[in-house]
Amino acid sequence: MRIGVPKEIKVHEYRVGLTPASVRELVARGHEVIVESSAGVGIGASDDHYRRAGARIAEDAAAVFAQADMIVKVKEPQPVERARLRADQVLFTYLHLAPDPDQAHDLLASGAVAIAYETVTAAEGGLPLLAPMSEVAGRMSVQAGAHCLEKAAGGRGVLLGGVPGVEPARVVILGGGVVGSNAALIALGMGASVTVIDRSLPVLRRLTERFGTRLVTLHASDEAIETEVGGADLVIGGVLIPGAAAPKLVSRALVGGMRGGAVIVDVAIDQGGCVETSRPTTHADPTYVVDEVVHYCVANMPGAVARTSTYALNAATLPHVLAIAERGWQHALREDVHLRNGLNVCAGKVTHAGVAQALGMAAHDPAGGTRPGRAARPLTRLLRPRRDAALQPRFKQP
């Protein structure tokens, strides 16, 4: 199969879809990898590194998209990239379609096979391709929040860990999953007073077992959220419903009742954010202020630590890239229900129930039958391997 790796073009996005080591694995198995020139500069990987791994270097993204059977990226395709997609071409990347109807409509119109990292599941539970970036974002959220609390950054002028004789900052984390647990780890390590709010008692028990009584855990309720958020110095939003829009746990009115100079870091912004006043920002202009509360809502936080993030992401994604390349996307998705859960858009149809519900569209199940939501015609035939040679995996001749 021909696999294309374009350079990421989202503002201040420095990650890359495949590392040279990943390229080497694919080439060793007979696949062809086309990498856009300078795609790996952000992680310290030159074109020569990719050449030595066996990749062919393309001068621009247009050539990568034109020649590849599968595009492997990190962030959602930008408008110019979506215009380059074609029918039956596989796109494997983060999509976060729930809050992005424009992207969804462009992918539908392209006819491409769009598989989203963030909805691929695992037999043991969880979201294994989202987890590495959630770990990074959870840890970064505390760093970002601590900086934003500084007076020069618009914050209250509070040191996260305090000093002897002065109380530490109060950190409230909404959601005790991967983002929340990693945020708690760093915030506690910096000496903050930390509370995690989650609706799952098993999650709260695991957090207590891990961190002990240093960490305060509360079952989610409107009263608990209002009380804790209202008195917080730093609020970190880390809730997630796979594929769907994040629930709005913090209202505009509640933001208005927070302390002046308090900080919100909404890690859930990729899925629309869990704070009513949140809107996506970039590393170039990461914050804004609403009712004297600083909001940090960068939609690609891990991109700032591109080398760590890329290698962590590749460790999780490479087995799936290999599976698709070796078997073709129809075989790979038919044989692996967890990879099939990553399919968001296929042949002009939305195939993930959570995404469909968020976008107000019908959900089509490529494996047969229909999914919750509006009645829809099943796309059973999509996962049947086609005999068209152009759609089959391409291997180099020995």
Catalytic site positions = 96, 270
Angle made by CA atoms 93, 137, 251, in degrees to the nearest 5: 100
Closest CA to 232 of 211, 262, 268: 262
Burial (0-12, 13-18, 19+ Cβ within 10 Å), 384: exposed
Tracing tokens 């840890």 back to the chain, one arrives at 139
Pair of tokens at residue 253? 């009115």
For residue 114, list its beta bridge partners. 91, 345
Phi–psi pair at 93, nearest 5 degrees:
-170, 180
Beta bridge partners of 290: 293
Please tell me the distance from the alpha carbon of residue 302 to that of residue 234, in angstroms, as a whole number: 20
The tokens 């491409």 sit on which residue? 112
d(CA 91, CA 114): 5
Q: Where are the alpha helices (DSSP H) in 290-340?
A: 306-327, 329-335, 337-340
Cα angle 101-106-112, degrees, rounded to a multiple of 5: 125
Within 10 angstroms of residue 154's Cβ, the number of other Cβ atoms is: 18
Task: Extract the tokens encoding 157.
Answer: 């002028």
Task: Answer left, alpha or beta for residue 12, where phi above 0 means left and psi between -120 and 50 means alpha.
Answer: left
Rounded Cα distance, 246 and 237, in Å: 10
CA distance 27 to 4: 12
Residue 10 per-residue DSSP state:
S
Per-residue burial over 242-264, b = 16 or more CB atoms within 10 Å of its CB, e = otherwise: bbbbbebbbbeebbeebeebbbb
Helix or strand (DSSP H, E) at 200: none
- Could you give phi then psi for residue 374, rounded to 5 degrees? -65, 150
